[in-house]
Amino acid sequence: MPSYEQLGDLLDPAGTVLLTVECQQGVVGPDSALPELAHEARSSGALRNVARLVAAAHESGVQVIHAIAERRPDGRGASRNARLFRAAERLPVRQLTGSTAVRVAPPIEVGEGDLVVRRLHGLSPVHGTDVDALLRNLGCRTLIVAGVSANVAVPNAVFDAVNLGYTAVVPSDAVAGVPAGYTAAMIRHTLALVATVATTDEVLRCLEHARGRS
């Protein structure tokens, strides 16, 4: 884990953005298309920690972006070049534009100033979406990445952020994947090589300290 001073230097609210990844009803909600992932996100406390991070970001002036994966009812523009995409077409709950499934899931509260970025294709919340342009316009230097899943979308977001020149921070207990043990392995052996790994409490303390200085 980084020292408090190191993490605090990275988390200047003026240059920090929190990205929540696919924390939507149809993924982590009670009626999820992926019940095993939804159960893990909730039982592990990851979803609750994402909500805590969002609340703290609102209080400290850190911009929040919610990355949502969805598809049109007619499937137009959706990717079909991977097994994952084809399987998603057969799930009983589909992430259809305008449906409850693509709303940000409780207990996360979407603030008035939050940005919601929706994508119709691909695996990454960053590449091929508006996220990079928004981050640059916001003056972002550090991107906090939290949400699901540790299997696909979260690593994609972290890799893309690093490739684009941002410093990535991953709160390890605000990320979930399946099976349960995979998340810790992914963070330790892969994401820790390219991102600063911390706990939710460590991030919250830094944001609180920054708020006290302002």
pLDDT of 134 > 80? The answer is yes
Task: State how far the Cα of 21 lies from the Cα of 116, in Å rounded to an integer.
Answer: 11
* Predicted confidence band of residue 94 (pLDDT cuts 50, 70, 90): confident
* Predicted confidence band of residue 199 (pLDDT cuts 50, 70, 90): very high
pLDDT of 4 > 60? The answer is no
Q: For position 6, what pLDDT does the model report?
A: 87
CA distance to 79, 101, 125, 128, 188, per residue, from 182 (Å): 26, 25, 20, 27, 10
The pLDDT of 105-118, averaged and rounded, is 98
Q: For position 18, what pLDDT does the model report?
A: 98
pLDDT of 67 > 60? The answer is yes
Whether the CB-CB separation of 174 and 191 falls below 8 Å is answered with no
Q: 């969805």: which residue's tokens?
A: 70
Q: For position 86, what pLDDT does the model report?
A: 83
Q: What is the pLDDT of residues 162-197, one digit of tens each?
A: 999 999 999 999 999 999 999 999 999 999 999 999
* Predicted confidence band of residue 123 (pLDDT cuts 50, 70, 90): very high
Q: For position 214, what pLDDT does the model report?
A: 60
Give the residue with greater pLDDT, 2 vs 163.
163
The pLDDT of 71-77, averaged and rounded, is 90
Q: Express as a percent the part of the chain with pLDDT over 90.
A: 84
Q: 């603030």: which residue's tokens?
A: 111
Q: For position 209, what pLDDT does the model report?
A: 86
Q: What is the pLDDT of residues 135-154, one digit of tens each?
A: 999 999 999 999 999 999 99
pLDDT of 1 > 80? The answer is no
Other beta carbons within 10 angstroms of residue 65's beta carbon come to 23
* Predicted confidence band of residue 210 (pLDDT cuts 50, 70, 90): confident
